[in-house]
Amino acid sequence: MTPLSVTACVLLLFVPGQRARESDQPGPPPEQQSTADPYAANACVTCHRNLAGRSAEIVDLEWVNSVHYENSVGCDGCHGGDASLQREQFPSEEAFKQAAHLARNPEFLSLHGDEGWFVSRARGRSMSYFCGRCHTEIMEKHLGSPHGDFGDPSCLYCHGQGTHAIKHATTDIIDPRPRTEAGRCSLCHQASTMSVLVDIKKVLDQTAERIDSSAASFLELEKMGYRNLALGEMHHHTAETHSRLRRVFHSFNMRDINELARSIESVAKQTEYAHELVAALHKARRNQTLVSIGAVVFLLAFAGMLGYYKHAFCEQYDRSEAILPSTGRGERPGSDR
Ligand code: HEC
Ligand code: HEC
Ligand code: HEC
Ligand code: HEC
Ligand code: HEC
């Protein structure tokens, strides 16, 4: 048997045993397992999950795979209504639904009433206010952009592609493909504005890379003992710097985007410069250390040589002393050996 097949046999013997042991372990009791779903008692989720068609899809295919689910934003976070109600409190499904929807279901209603609010659908500019309850700065930038002004594309056109499965945003949303390849931006944009769009994507990608590479240099600088409050401001908060860029971008205003990109570039340049200087200083110090080590080695060698000569000289001296007649006092202890 080769060592490999021995290992394989050992593994085969071992794995089922371990599985058995794992399943033997007492799990949480069934009722505790069901409350592991934080939405198990959420009125919107429990009812909509069991509705036929679109609703079930929204809950179990789209929303559970969204960044909002990940961050505990439920249906009521966006649509409002009362998610805390329970079926047992009502005589019928219809009454339960009416109460959860706050008994109103027309189009866009006032967002902030004392008695609560419920928004069923949002379109165009109203979508921006709908999402802007939480994403305030982006709402402002978006509403001031050509898109917000036009009312299209909406937040959801870019981020959800029309569904509830809103994901982490990346610059891949900026889609330079032509209309013939189903490009999502070329639906409205001709080749002439598509070049602006490609420029924005480039600036965003390059600046994001700059933020990260500069932060890495700064970390090295700090390891070398370098401190700088002004540079640290940006590098200790890279997530916030990324986010700032990504928020400002929603103005779709090249001047604003470039201005922020330039200020980030300037911090990155200063960091690079400091990195070069400090690295050079360290190299010089290392060289200096080499010189000092050289000097010490030389001195040690010199001392060793002196020692040797002293030893040789003293032995000679001892011997010469031994032939001299004894003076009778202070006889050297080694001389009679
Ligand atoms: C007892 C069941 C029930 C509960 C509880 C419930 N809904 Fe509904 N909801 C429905 C039904 C039925 C419809 C209409 C059919 C559909 O759209 O699938 C609906 C429609 C909707 C719509 C779409 C309205 C439209 O104009 O198309 C939204 C949005 C919605 N509900 C959100 C919520 C939210 C948010 C909650 C929790 C606060 C909630 N629902 C609680 C049953 C319920
Ligand atoms: C991030 C905000 C957000 C969250 C969270 C959210 N929705 Fe929506 N929902 C929207 C928006 C925006 C629309 C309008 C989109 C459209 O009609 O194209 C919408 C539309 C709907 C509609 C009607 C439109 C349709 O496609 O039939 C229903 C029903 C609905 N949502 C149910 C839910 C349920 C149930 C949940 C919780 C599982 C939920 N939503 C969570 C933003 C959200
Ligand atoms: C034309 C397409 C488009 C529209 C319209 C749009 N976004 Fe974005 N959004 C993007 C892109 C692209 C990014 C990522 C940019 C990057 O990675 O540099 C982004 C990033 C984000 C982020 C991440 C911000 C952060 O702090 O990291 C959020 C949140 C967001 N958008 C929400 C919204 C909301 C809310 C609206 C509507 C008010 C909206 N977006 C409208 C394309 C769009
Ligand atoms: C109840 C508050 C709330 C509402 C309303 C809301 N969001 Fe969010 N959203 C969040 C939270 C919380 C996060 C996670 C933290 C973050 O990234 O800002 C998030 C994250 C996001 C992200 C991912 C950002 C990233 O990290 O790349 C996008 C995109 C986004 N939301 C778009 C939308 C859109 C589009 C709407 C409207 C249809 C919307 N949001 C409505 C709270 C909300
Ligand atoms: C529903 C139509 C529509 C869609 C889809 C659309 N845009 Fe626009 N966009 C416009 C309109 C309208 C303007 C303002 C007029 C113009 O500059 O063409 C505009 C302007 C812009 C500008 C400013 C151009 C300039 O010269 O200053 C940029 C950049 C831009 N859009 C990027 C995008 C990106 C990226 C996408 C895809 C995620 C996209 N757009 C999708 C309609 C759209």
3-state helix/strand/coil string of 228-245: CHHHHHHHCCHHHHHHHH
- Work out the average pLDDT over 73-94: 94
Both 154 and 76 in one domain: the answer is no
| Non-local CB neighbours of 308 within 8 Å, separated by 6+ positions | none
Our count of domains for the chain comes to: 3
Q: Which atom of ligand 4 is nearest to the CA of 156?
A: 35
| Percent with pLDDT over 90 in the chain | 54
- By CB neighbour count within 10 A (0-12 exposed, 13-18 middle, 19+ buried), where does 207 fall? buried
Nearest-atom number in ligand 3 for the CA of 208 is: 18
Is residue 325 in a domain?
no
**Is position 306 within any domain?**
no
Residue 19 has pLDDT above 90, yes or no: no
Does residue 207 share a domain with residue 142? no
Question: Do 128 and 105 reside in the same domain of the chain?
Answer: no
Residue 136 lies in a domain: yes
CA distance 290 to 301: 16
Task: Look at ligand 2, atom 2, and give the residue with the nearest C-alpha.
Answer: 78
Residues 111, 44: one domain?
Answer: yes
CA of 62 to the centre of ligand 2 (A): 10
Residue 235 · residue 218 · CB < 8 Å: yes
Mutate to test the pocket of ligand 1, among 39, 101, 121 (most ligand atoms within 8 A of CB): 101
Please give the pLDDT value at position 5.
Answer: 43
Residue 227 backbone dihedrals phi, psi, to 5 degrees = -125, 135
The larger pLDDT score, comparing residue 327 to residue 284, is at: 284
What separation in Å is there between the alpha carbon of 125 and the centre of ligand 5? 15
Residue of 147, 149, 150 lying closest to 159 (CA atoms): 147
User: Which DSSP symbol is given to 27?
Assistant: -
Burial of 160 (0-12, 13-18, 19+ CB in 10 A): middle
The answer to whether residues 241 and 195 belong to one domain is: yes
Confidence band, pLDDT 50/70/90 cuts, at residue 87: very high
CB-ligand 4 contact for 156 (6 Å cutoff): yes
Instruction: Determine whether the shortest distance from the Cβ of 95 to ligand 4 is under 6 A.
Output: no
Is ligand 1 within 6 A of the CB of residue 47? Answer: yes
Calculate the CA 96 to chain-centre distance. Answer: 42
For the entire predicted model, the pTM comes to: 0.83
**In terms of domains, do 278 and 199 share one?**
yes
Among 34-38, 43-47, 172-176, 282-286, which stretch is predicted with the lowest mean pLDDT?
A: 34-38
Residues 72, 136 within the same domain = no
CB 171 within 8 A of CB 201: yes
**Do 186 and 241 contact (CB within 8 A), yes or no?**
no
* Number of the ligand closest to the Cα of 143: 3
- Residue 318 located in a structural domain: no
How confident is the model at residue 323, as a pLDDT? 52
Q: Which residues pair with 118 in a beta bridge?
A: 80
Q: Residue 81 carries which DSSP code? A: S
Q: Tell me which residue has tokens 């206010």.
A: 129
Mean pLDDT estimate for the chain: 82
Q: Mark whether 242 and 266 lie in a shared domain.
A: yes
Residue 72 near ligand 4, beta carbon < 6 Å:
no
Quote the Cα angle for 96-99-101, to 5°: 105
pLDDT tens digits, one per residue of 286-337 = 888 888 888 888 887 887 787 777 777 666 655 555 555 544 444 444 444 4
The CB-based long-range contact list for 333-336 (8 Å cut-off, 24+ gap) reads none
Residue 83: inside a domain: yes
Q: Are residues 100 and 126 in the same domain?
A: no
Closest residue to atom 28 of ligand 1, CA basis: 120
Ligand 2 contact via 100 beta carbon (within 6 Å)? no
**What mean pLDDT comes out for the span 9-14?**
36
User: Would you say residue 322 lies in a domain?
Assistant: no
In our burial notation (b when 16+ CB lie closer than 10 A, e otherwise), range 208-231 reads: bebbeebbebbeebeeeebeeeeb
103 lies in the same domain as 135:
no
Residues with C-beta less than 6 Å from any ligand 5 atom: 146-147, 150, 152-153, 158, 173-175, 184-185, 187-189, 193, 196-197, 200, 252
Domain that holds residue 80: 37-120
**Residue whose tokens read 């505990």:** 72
Residue 107 lies in a domain: yes
Atom of ligand 1 nearest to the CA of 93: 1
In the chain, the largest separation of any two C-alpha atoms, in whole Å, equals: 131
**DSSP calls for 126-182:** HHHHHHHTT-HHHHHHHHTSHHHHHT-S-HHHHHTTTSS------GGGS----GGGT
Res 117 pLDDT > 60: yes
Specify the pLDDT at position 64. 96
Q: Is residue 164 part of a domain?
A: yes
pLDDT tens-digit series, residues 168-199: 999 999 999 999 999 999 999 988 889 989 99
Q: Are 39 and 47 in contact (CB under 8 A)?
A: no
Average pLDDT rounded to a whole number, residues 229-255: 93
pLDDT at 101 over 50: yes
DSSP 8-class letter at 39? T
Pocket of ligand 3 (CB under 6 A): 128, 131-132, 135, 138-139, 142, 147, 153, 155, 158-159, 169-171, 173-174, 204, 243, 245-247, 249-250
> Are 71 and 105 in the same domain?
yes
| Residues 229, 213 within the same domain | yes
What count of Cα atoms within 13 Å lies in the side-chain half-sphere of residue 184?
14
Dist. CA 75 → ligand 2 center (Å): 7
